[in-house]
Homo-oligomer: A and B are copies of this chain.
Amino acid sequence: MENASDKPEGRRAQKRRETHQRIVDTGLSLFLRHGYEATTIDMIAKAAGISRRSFFSYFGSKEDVLLARVGSGFPEALRLAMAEQSSQMTPLETARQCFIKLASRYETDESAAVDRLLQSTVALRARKNALFLEIEQTLADGMHALWPEQECRTELRLAAMAAVGALRLALEDRRNDDDGQPLEYYLDRNFALLAELS
């Protein structure tokens, strides 16, 4: 019956955090070296210095290891970014600015490599798409907090959907164009096109 918020983190929590991190690191490294499917959970567990059985007390599936970073990271970062926005601008403009602010964190080589891995399987592609839906939900929640006067959430939900779509297509276009325009370029273009949807 004690609040966990002020405990200085004993050895238990520390080791658990370290092991969790070690699994993600070694797992990612193995995925990159041998591909996703060719990497077995036994390999990850052995490389992380734990038993196969213990692996499953940290992650529910192999996919979760690959999605550990971006999967929970981006939605949470977006939640925070939205929380410190004002309601001065339009919902779409607010979303655009948040995206630009966050995009830089995910322009690393590792993110690009993970993204390539996320194309290698039907299930992984599906999981990646699910991530966009989670982002959409997070964005809609953030918008609802900024503009609570909206009697019906549908408008904001649609705006969030459109914004995430613009983000998704921006990422897609940038990959296909293969000349290194910054993400902001595609983002601006797509949001402008959104505004004049006939």
A interface with B by C-beta (< 8 Å):
90-92, 122-123, 125-127, 129-130, 133, 154-155, 157-159, 161-162, 165-166, 168-169, 173, 189-190, 193-195, 197-198
Contact = CB atoms under 8 A, between A and B. Distances in A.
B162 A169 contact: no
Contact of A126 (B90, B123, B154, B166): B123
A195 B190 CA distance: 15
A137 to B, nearest CB: 11
For the complex formed by this chain, how many copies does it contain in all? 2
Main secondary structure of the interface of A (DSSP, over half): helix
Given A123-B123, A125-B130, A126-B130, 13 more contacts: A91-B198, A123-B126, A154-B169, A154-B189, A154-B193, A155-B193, A158-B166, A158-B194, A161-B162, A161-B166, A161-B168, A165-B165, A197-B197
